Amino acid sequence: MDRDVMATRAIASADLGHDLERLLAVSPGSGKGKALPDRAAALQRTHKHIAMLMWIDFDLNQVRTFTSRSPKGSEAEMKQMRRYLAAAKKALKAHRTYESPSFRVGDRSYRLLGQRSEDGRTGVIALLDQDLLSKVEEHQRKNLRLIPYPQEGRYRVESVHTDTLRDMTVKTGHDNENASHYYENEIVVRFRNGHPTGRQLRTIARDIHGGSPRKIGYAYIFKSADMNFSQLRTYFAYKWHPQYTEPHYLYLTNDRVVAQTSDEIMPNDLLFSAYQWNLPAIETGKGWALTRGSGDCIVAVVDTGVQKDHPDLQGQLLNGYNAVTGGGSVPDDDVGHGTHVSGIIGALVNNGEGVAGISWYNKILPVKALDASGAGTTYSVAEGIIWAADHGARVINLSLGNYADSQFLHDAVKYAYDRDIVLVSATGNDNTERPGYPAAYPEVLAVGATNAGAERASFSNYGDYVDVCAPGESIASTYIGSQYAALSGTSMASPHVAALAGLVRSLNPDLTNKEVVELMKKNATDLGSPGHDKYFGWGQVDIYRTLAAAAGEDTPLQLWPQRVREKIRRLESRE
């Protein structure tokens, strides 16, 4: 968690420095100075974490300040901020850049960054609100299960032991390993003889003191005003003899170097070289020489939604769906997780901004199934999967999980799989061998996480159900607030594989979902024990090798030299 916070701080500084350079390109003597207020306002509008911009014209000895939010704190705190501001001005006057330590004003943390233009005529100082770092820390405390999550006593949530379904209390982060969270006053029911009549549903509502149930597929979710799950299960078993009943589970986010060749494509994205170790590790640059994706192959992200106007996702997103609220509401991201996952898959490449996604052209279909707390119900996740399947998805990423084997969710997974969709899911972040769902369903490709040393990430779940692994430690990607963050988790590993599936289906659309999955497993880089093992599955995915295999004998003529060199390299490595 500390590593992710430190990396996010460095990423934020690099990103803001790039923005300040462009602002400094407004030359005071060119007539463009009149556009300065508009540019400053536009920057603060899209980057709400910039609380203040101070423009200094050293030729005219003028200072202009653009404030979007004035910090308010004690006299001592304000005095300290003024000292750092004076130090920033002094540094710029001496033709040096400046970055202050973090300091608090009121209930928020800030930093000051200063830069001077190349010609030395102007300088700019920015006051950066560091709320992003607090969000990353809070997110990773939940995501890496450092604290009990979700908190019992809130949202009418309870927990059961996954094996016995007996009540248990989650007191520590470690207890998450054996816990499956569910809504205490709800139940999922599938009836034996099709669907009940309207009259029968009204009878049930009266008996359990509830309203109209929610229906999806073959199952119904009933909610009672005063009965808990155990009472509801007894009622349905005695009076209705259903095919199955189960808790309405909550699903939580599962967040937590290869030598280059002349054939590799090296994008110019600002953060790529310094922070995106994960892309060279799985031969992404070489893979781009074979395909960069296709707009015809849609990758759905069933998650917390997405920031639709993030500058590094422009043109990459389709109109999605909000399964949390339903209706016509948009799938806005109020957590950051879904935006981060989406950026790993498809952030704009070669635009000189932020990060590079794995796919250049595959469209992303955002589906919000997890709410502002970072959790979602069986119903919302199942509905999200089915909606994505019905709206053109060829690949679905599920960076979420629960240790309970839900038949209701499995029905939704089968629905998508039967429609030739590749389903990819994160294994979880509890460092446990216990199978997590939906990753452990046979129709789903289960993804564990590795670090920069090609070792299993310390938090990554393992077991015989693991199929492949992918980078998952300190992964830089897009984040809400038009920002960037580094996060760790199997949630970050899963979209690497989903993006690869999108590239494979773009290169060879005739492959079935089963064939795509087999290609990714067969061409993974074997790690750990030879062959399949419970820590790495078949190994870490390799984008170039998988795409080369997907191309088969139809590889374009101009790519044959690359293919031949690769075969020679493999032969030499065996000697």
CATH number for the domain harbouring residue 97? 3.30.450
Query: Does an H or E element contain 448, and which?
Result: strand 444-450
CB atoms within 10 A of CB 496: 30
pLDDT computed for residue 169 by the predictor: 53
pLDDT computed for residue 502 by the predictor: 97
pLDDT computed for residue 260 by the predictor: 37
* 229 and 279 co-located in one domain: no
The reply to whether 147 falls in a domain is no
Share of the chain above pLDDT 70, in %: 85
Closest to 304 (Cα-Cα) out of 382, 374, 218: 374
Listed in sequence order, the DSSP H helices in 25-130 are 36-46, 75-93
Domain final position from 192, 218, 249: 249
Mean predicted confidence (pLDDT) in 515-533: 95
* 507 and 560 co-located in one domain: yes
pLDDT computed for residue 256 by the predictor: 43
Residues 6+ apart with CB under 8 A from 256: 140, 143, 144, 429, 449, 457, 459, 460, 472, 473, 487, 488, 489, 490, 491, 492
* 110 and 211 co-located in one domain: no
Q: How high is the mean pLDDT of the chain?
A: 86
Q: Is the pLDDT of residue 468 over 60?
A: yes
The reply to whether 446 falls in a domain is yes
pLDDT computed for residue 161 by the predictor: 55
Q: Containing domain of residue 103, as a range?
A: 1-27+35-134
For residue 464, indicate whether it is catalytic: no
Domain final position from 77, 105, 134: 134
Closest to 131 (Cα-Cα) out of 491, 483, 488: 483
pLDDT tens for each residue of 367-383:
999 988 888 888 999 99
* 238 and 279 co-located in one domain: no
Max mean pLDDT among 2-16, 74-88, 182-196, 553-567 falls in 74-88
* 275 and 241 co-located in one domain: no
Cα separation of 100 and 86, whole Å?
Answer: 11
pLDDT computed for residue 487 by the predictor: 95
Domain final position from 197, 215, 249: 249
pLDDT computed for residue 15 by the predictor: 86
- Three-class DSSP category at 437: strand
- Residue of 180, 491, 494, 506 marked active site: 491
The reply to whether 240 falls in a domain is yes
pLDDT computed for residue 163 by the predictor: 54
Cα separation of 129 and 132, whole Å?
Answer: 8
User: Is the CA virtual torsion 225, 226, 230, 231 positive or negative?
Assistant: negative
457 secondary structure, DSSP code: -
- CATH assignment of the domain containing 193: 3.30.70
Does the pTM exceed 0.85?
Answer: no
pLDDT computed for residue 176 by the predictor: 55
Name the band, by pLDDT with cuts 50, 70 and 90, for residue 142. confident
Higher pLDDT, 230 or 189: 189
The reply to whether 167 falls in a domain is no
Higher pLDDT, 167 or 458: 458
The reply to whether 475 falls in a domain is yes
For residue 491, indicate whether it is catalytic: yes
Higher pLDDT, 118 or 335: 335
Name the band, by pLDDT with cuts 50, 70 and 90, for residue 393. very high
The reply to whether 266 falls in a domain is no
- Three-class DSSP category at 4: helix
Q: What string of H, E and C letters represents the secondary structure of 168-188? A: ECCCCHHHHHHEEEEECCEEE
Name the band, by pLDDT with cuts 50, 70 and 90, for residue 253. low
Higher pLDDT, 554 or 504: 504
Mean predicted confidence (pLDDT) in 24-40: 64
Name the band, by pLDDT with cuts 50, 70 and 90, for residue 254. low
Q: Is the pLDDT of residue 236 over 70?
A: yes
- Residue of 248, 310, 337, 496 marked active site: 337
Cα of 311 vs its chain's centroid, Å: 16
- CA-to-CA dists, residue 310 to 139, 203, 370, 374, angstroms: 20, 48, 19, 20
Q: How many domains does the chain have?
A: 3
The reply to whether 459 falls in a domain is yes
- Three-class DSSP category at 315: coil
Q: Which of 178-187, 321-330, 456-465, 517-526 has the lowest mean pLDDT?
A: 178-187
* 391 and 494 co-located in one domain: yes
Share of the chain above pLDDT 90, in %: 56
- Residue of 303, 332, 333, 371 marked active site: 303
The reply to whether 297 falls in a domain is yes
For residue 303, indicate whether it is catalytic: yes
- CATH assignment of the domain containing 506: 3.40.50.200
Q: Which of 54-58, 83-87, 293-297, 475-479 has the lowest mean pLDDT?
A: 54-58
556: amino acid identity, one letter: P
Higher pLDDT, 493 or 403: 493
Mean predicted confidence (pLDDT) in 419-446: 96
* 388 and 477 co-located in one domain: yes
Residues 6+ apart with CB under 8 A from 465: 427, 435, 439, 440, 446
* 432 and 521 co-located in one domain: yes
Name the band, by pLDDT with cuts 50, 70 and 90, for residue 572. low
Higher pLDDT, 575 or 340: 340
pLDDT computed for residue 327 by the predictor: 65
Q: What angle separates helix 407-417 from helix 378-390, to the nearest 10 degrees?
A: 10
Mean predicted confidence (pLDDT) in 207-236: 88
Cα separation of 544 and 550, whole Å?
Answer: 10
* 382 and 466 co-located in one domain: yes
Name the band, by pLDDT with cuts 50, 70 and 90, for residue 154. very low
Mean predicted confidence (pLDDT) in 214-221: 85
Q: What angle separates helix 513-522 from helix 543-551, to the nearest 10 degrees?
A: 130
Mean predicted confidence (pLDDT) in 184-208: 90
Mean predicted confidence (pLDDT) in 202-225: 89
User: Is the CA virtual torsion 360, 362, 366, 370 positive or negative?
Assistant: negative
* 245 and 276 co-located in one domain: no
* 441 and 504 co-located in one domain: yes
Cα 313–258–553 angle (5° rounding)? 80
Cα separation of 93 and 121, whole Å?
Answer: 10
* 4 and 71 co-located in one domain: yes
